Structure 1
Amino acid sequence: MSRRTIRNARIVTAGETFTGCAVIEGGTIRSVDRGATAAPEAEDWEGDWLLPGLVELHTDNLEKHLVPRPGVIWDATSATVTHDAQCAAAGITTVLDSIVIGDMDNGGTRSQTYQTSIDALHACRRESLMRVEHLLHLRCEVSAPDLVESFERYAADPLVELVSVMDHTPGQRQWRDLGKYRRYTERNGSLRDNEYEQLVRERTEQQARYAVSHRAKVVAGCHALRIPLASHDDTEIEHVQLAREEQVAISEFPTTVRAAEAARQAGMAIVMGGPNLVKGGSHSGNVSAAELAQRGLLDIMSSDYVPSSLLHSAFLLRDQLGWTMPRAMATISRNPARSIALDDRGEIAPGQRGDFIRVREVGGMPIVRGTWCRGERAM
């Protein structure tokens, strides 16, 4: 049974920060104490941070490796192990890979990759190719014609720990600003006015036909399988009220203050993106993570599409908004873990799983120097 003793580390627990020592044995944190240790085998961490392994609920990073260029689909196994290594390097020890099911693009890349990516994830786990633990977050596009068939195929997958319901129809939620929506749709090539107008018309028609019934079927399926639910891009109070009626527990990336306030009143956990905080605002023109944090409307950070933004965002909450380290670190470890009932990880405490990271600050930037998952070195 492996045993690791660490000394002279700045330890962040759920409630305090202190310099001390820790023992990890057999994949479990056995003890955490203030001060020094007389154990001769103890590793000197030279004042580096000893932090819990990060827990990521929503990342699109795998998709970037699956489709590195427009029209280029990469080998799913190669993409998965590369994404895994990047997560380990960012200090993420539990990651819910976000897989979009329901294709609004009628044969687009997402419909071509979701099955192969889920299959690759299972294969890589069976072959012990993963450095950290990967689970699944199914992102359900409720206006997509093929959603229900895909959801019914994968909802009972044992790796599914979270399902989100989302609707990217132009003119509402994330894409209230049609100008920003057009620029987004044209990122890989321009559209003529009539082509763009036809696209908006088709998406709107799909929403009218499918969104309500598809969302109801997904919500019912998740409740039957006891899968936590998130509502994506809530914008209006009515969006949150619907989610509350559906017993949705998580508000993922609310786009306005009013939606976030409604989510708080409804007792929902509020998730915002690390890139939003690091870059100082939303790329879609929605509410900033910093503003919600200042208003006490932020519980969980997600790296979204930049794995390294997760740890960086916690240190920004400390430095720019005055949060304590325990409070800031909880947004990227304990809070996301508890929101999906992963009670065995997310904090530095005896009995918790041996997921932890070594971090050094360099010029105010947190640099991951080591990542351990279940007590084994991952990076």
Structure 2
Amino acid sequence: MPIELDLQGARVLRPGGWDHGPLSLAGGVIVDGPVGRAVDLTGYDLLPGIVDVHGDGFERHMAPRRGALRERDAGMVACAAELGACGITTAVLAQFWSWEGGMRGPEFAEEVFAAVTAVAPTVPVDLRLQMRLETHFTESFEAAEAALARWGIGYVVFNDHLPHARLAEGRRPPRLTGQALKSGRNPEAHLALMTRLHEAGDAVPGVLDALCARLAAQGIRMGSHDDRTAAGRAAWRARGVTVSEFPETLEAAQAARDAGEPVVLGAPNVVRGASHAGNVSALDLISAGLCDALASDYHYPAPARAAWRCVELGLMDEAAAWALVSEGPARVLGLADRGRLDTGLRADLVVMDRETRRIAAVFAGGDLAWMSGPVAARFIS
């Protein structure tokens, strides 16, 4: 049940910058107050809730130990609690639909989709789904489309994880045995599958053209993952695939920006200071003005930390940095009702200790999503 509160004494990050005016919540939205019980939050900051446009950190909750335990609904409840603790009030859970099998295969994907559908109405954090569809898994496109319709998924991102160069040379890909074990196949069967999909690659562009046309007609948002070249981005653009997720080069990111397309970068890349895969640094792209949103990728605490890292490095002020994890990703997702602390918008907000920058409390849609530490006394007393 949404709470009615008048939050006073805090510094508030509004669309026009910081101010010290009260912030009132009622009916799940931000309203002109006063409307409810006053809470003194002197010493704290109020910031818009984080909108995570792409994250797969839920996997460890759904399958905490491979082959031993699958915690479906209970795991998703635990995931929602972690999201709240990290200041994330809207989370797009990015699930593979891939030939890679295991936790990236269609069977596991269906379990994730079912768990999110069951749990989402019961938790404050807004849980949403994204399907990460492997481009060369064309034999499963029909089943993937059926799953999109069955679970009401409105966001598809295209990936290609086939090691094409190695396969073209007839060489065994690195880490083949480990990947095969994760998929539940023996290494030779896994290699045979990859080789078959690679050799059928000439037919993939035409199949993708048709699939994207069908998805676009349904209003499904589409993105490409790991763009490397301007030509590659242009090919996706021609299909109506407009979001560039984690471009690997300056060229690809610049091509997206020149076309007015949103660029999503990984928050862990910012926190680390470099790509763990040796690609272009997210910090360099942010410095060049080529970032619309930061995503958790694989680590839910990363967005909040990445925003402050941008401030510490002098790349932008606090308002601009926090917009990369709130207003920016909300815009990428077409969600005009969140990402800012303004009257009439969803009451999604983070209460942060001003000195330590630790998250003390989080409200999602006006409901308490998480709270810990001394701030609790402010609300209870």
Name the TM-score, length of structure 1 as normaliser. Answer: 0.86
Asked whether 1:265 is paired with 2:258, we answer: yes
Correspondence 1:126-145 to 2 at 5 A: 126=121, 128=122, 130-145=123-138
Tell me what 1:352 maps to.
345
Pick from 297, 314, 319: which aligns with 2:312?
319
Tell me what 2:376 maps to.
none
Aligned residues: 363
Alignment root-mean-square deviation, CA: 3.0
DSSP-derived class of the 1:61 partner? coil
Question: Percent identity among equivalent residues?
Answer: 29
Tell me what 1:212 maps to.
205
DSSP-derived class of the 1:20 partner? coil
Which range moves more in the overlay, 1-10 or 351-360? Answer: 1-10
Tell me what 1:31 maps to.
32
Pick from 350, 363, 373: which aligns with 2:364?
373
Opposite residue 199 of structure 2, the aligned amino acid is: E
Tell me what 1:48 maps to.
44
Pick closer, same or farther for the CA change 1:111–1:248 going to 2, 3 Å.
closer
Pick closer, same or farther for the CA change 1:108–1:308 going to 2, 3 Å.
closer
In structure 2, how many angstroms separate the alpha carbons of the residues matched to 1:120 and 1:327? 35
Pick from 107, 116, 125: which aligns with 2:120?
125
Residue-by-residue CA offset, 1:54-77 (whole Å, 9 max, x unaligned): 111111112222233343451211
In structure 2, how many angstroms separate the alpha carbons of the residues matched to 1:49 and 1:62? 28
Contact map agreement 2:95 2:104 (CA 8 A) in 1: no
Contact map agreement 1:67 1:74 (CA 8 A) in 2: yes
In structure 1, how many angstroms separate the alpha carbons of the residues matched to 2:65 and 2:206? 34
Structure 2: gaps of 5 or more residues = 371-381
Correspondence 1:14-29 to 2 at 5 A: 14-29=15-30
Residue-by-residue CA offset, 1:188-239 (whole Å, 9 max, x unaligned): 979x998997676345225445x32442233112211111111111001111
In structure 1, how many angstroms separate the alpha carbons of the residues matched to 2:230 and 2:280? 15
In structure 2, how many angstroms separate the alpha carbons of the residues matched to 1:311 and 1:232? 23
Residue-by-residue CA offset, 1:243-271 (whole Å, 9 max, x unaligned): 22122221000000111111111111000
Structure 1: gaps of 5 or more residues = none
Asked whether 1:62 is paired with 2:58, we answer: yes
Pick from 341, 347, 350: which aligns with 2:334?
341
In structure 2, how many angstroms separate the alpha carbons of the residues matched to 1:375 and 1:288? 36
In structure 2, how many angstroms separate the alpha carbons of the residues matched to 1:321 and 1:182? 39
Pick from 302, 305, 308: which aligns with 1:309?
302
Pick closer, same or farther for the CA change 1:150–1:73 going to 2, 3 Å.
farther
Pick closer, same or farther for the CA change 1:96–1:196 going to 2, 3 Å.
closer
Contact map agreement 2:268 2:297 (CA 8 A) in 1: yes
Tell me what 1:96 maps to.
92
Opposite residue 87 of structure 1, the aligned amino acid is: L
Opposite residue 118 of structure 1, the aligned amino acid is: F
Tell me what 2:174 maps to.
182
Pick closer, same or farther for the CA change 1:72–1:14 going to 2, 3 Å.
farther
Contact map agreement 1:104 1:145 (CA 8 A) in 2: no
Pick from 292, 296, 299: which aligns with 2:285?
292
Opposite residue 122 of structure 1, the aligned amino acid is: T
Residue-by-residue CA offset, 1:89-120 (whole Å, 9 max, x unaligned): 1111111111212x223566533311111111
In structure 2, how many angstroms separate the alpha carbons of the residues matched to 1:67 and 1:198? 27
Q: Deviation of residue 18 (structure 1)?
A: 2.4
Pick closer, same or farther for the CA change 1:214–1:99 going to 2, 3 Å.
farther
In structure 1, how many angstroms separate the alpha carbons of the residues matched to 2:163 and 2:295? 24
Tell me what 2:108 maps to.
113
In structure 2, how many angstroms separate the alpha carbons of the residues matched to 1:82 and 1:206? 41
Pick closer, same or farther for the CA change 1:300–1:63 going to 2, 3 Å.
same
Tell me what 2:246 maps to.
253
Contact map agreement 2:124 2:365 (CA 8 A) in 1: no
In structure 2, how many angstroms separate the alpha carbons of the residues matched to 1:163 and 1:196? 25
In structure 2, how many angstroms separate the alpha carbons of the residues matched to 1:206 and 1:311? 42
Correspondence 1:190-201 to 2 at 5 A: 201=195
Pick closer, same or farther for the CA change 1:68–1:41 going to 2, 3 Å.
closer
In structure 1, how many angstroms separate the alpha carbons of the residues matched to 2:368 and 2:271? 28
Pick from 223, 226, 236: which aligns with 1:233?
226
DSSP-derived class of the 1:160 partner? coil
In structure 1, how many angstroms separate the alpha carbons of the residues matched to 2:103 and 2:221? 28
Opposite residue 112 of structure 1, the aligned amino acid is: E
In structure 1, how many angstroms separate the alpha carbons of the residues matched to 2:88 and 2:116? 17
Residue-by-residue CA offset, 1:6-41 (whole Å, 9 max, x unaligned): 112121122312233211111110138xxxx9x994
Pick from 145, 155, 169: which aligns with 1:152?
145
